[in-house]
Amino acid sequence: MNMLPFTRPTLGEEEYGAVQEVLQSGWITSGPRVVELEKNLAVYIGGGVDVRLFSSATAALEAVLIAGKIGPGDEVIVPAMSFVASANVVVRTGATPVFVDVDIKSRNLDAQAIRSAITGKTRAIMPVHFAGMPVEMAPIYELAASHDLLVLEDAAQAIGTCYQGRQIGSFGNPVSFSFHPNKNMTTIEGGAIASADPQLIKQLESIRFHGISRNDKGEMLVEAWGGKMNLPDVNAAIGLAQLKKLDGFNAKRRRLAEYYFRQLPSHPALVLPADTPGHSWHMFCVCLDFESMGMTREDILETFKAQDIMLGMHYPAMHLFGLYRQLGYGRGDFPVAEQIGDQTFTLPLFPAMTTDDVDRVAAVFNALLA
């Protein structure tokens, strides 16, 4: 029996041919393919936004915080359940991440949790659309406007996700996307920012490449700090091929997720993820109270591995990492994020899977929980 990983990128002849074409062109760093992918992503997202590509979603988030002059003495509200990059970029600028707890099924934060975390030092809110499920953004936009706060959406896992019938990223405020190999579309490594603010877009262009801008004569200017965050054309060429397939990929992910819901057992020890219209199903994450079954996490992983099934674990609660314990956080601060971190398993989900693969995973759960 073939090993079933929790994820696998879907690449084909279109991607291979696109890379070869770029390599043969002689222009392999940032160039015409980057510009083309930025334009195509802007059209896909809609809402009149512009898109700028970066070397990663992490770099894109950092660039927006830098452009907003967020730094030492400032606070940014972040969910306690996300990949650690969401908080690391805040630390990178010298600001302080302020964690809030999340919902057990959606793994997303909500406006009420944010409200209680706002202080006089708060400068920004960073909602994370976990696993492709859209955050309930309308009350967060309203709350942010009433406190004059930047909303920077971390949509690393949510390319193709919709909220209120519109693409995440189309509402105008800055939104970061990831194109890492485990995402719904890939550029191998890479990310992007979508925004309707032309001044921010101009700043991001400078920040992502050494702070360089040009005057009307084409002369190079460096008037502010910039990093090295640009995406090469080789990566963008892969992204162009992947973007054409994205809606199909996401439709397949949804069908597989729906089949998981039908096949997985109902049991008090098993917490299934929430679903909502517009979910792009980057991951299918469950919580399993294995201790109530007299087992350990390692027992669960080994049970699936014995059936040639690899599970992921997304993610540990961020506030329990050593870096953030230094800020005074500890166990008991965010019990839902901690439960997720302690009990989470990520089930296999990628477009090349079949319903037979889902049946394999569900059969192990049914045997464990029988």
| Element spanning 42, H or E | helix 32-45
> Torsion angle, CA of 216/218/223/225, rounded to 10 degrees?
130
Q: Which of 105, 183, 252, 305 is catalytic?
A: 183
Sequence-ordered alpha helix ranges (H) in 148-209: 198-207
- Distance, in Å, from the CA atom of 234 to the CA atom of 183, rounded to the nearest integer, reads 18
- Residue 349 to residues 27, 39, 85, 309, 357, Cα–Cα distance (Å): 35, 29, 22, 12, 9
Instruction: Tokens for 226, please give them.
Output: 């910039």
Q: Taking the chain, what is the end-to-end CA distance rounded to the nearest angstrom?
A: 24
Active site residue 121: no
Instruction: Tokens for 121, please give them.
Output: 């030092």
234, 240 in Cβ contact below 8 A? Answer: no
Sign of CA dihedral 196, 200, 202, 207: negative
Instruction: Tokens for 163, please give them.
Output: 């909220």
Strands 150-151 and 122-125: parallel
- Minimal CA–CA distance to 173: which of 190, 154, 151? 151
- Distance, in Å, from the CA atom of 291 to the CA atom of 343, rounded to the nearest integer, reads 9
- Distance, in Å, from the CA atom of 341 to the CA atom of 320, rounded to the nearest integer, reads 10
- Distance, in Å, from the CA atom of 48 to the CA atom of 51, rounded to the nearest integer, reads 10
- Distance, in Å, from the CA atom of 270 to the CA atom of 182, rounded to the nearest integer, reads 25
Catalytic residues: 183
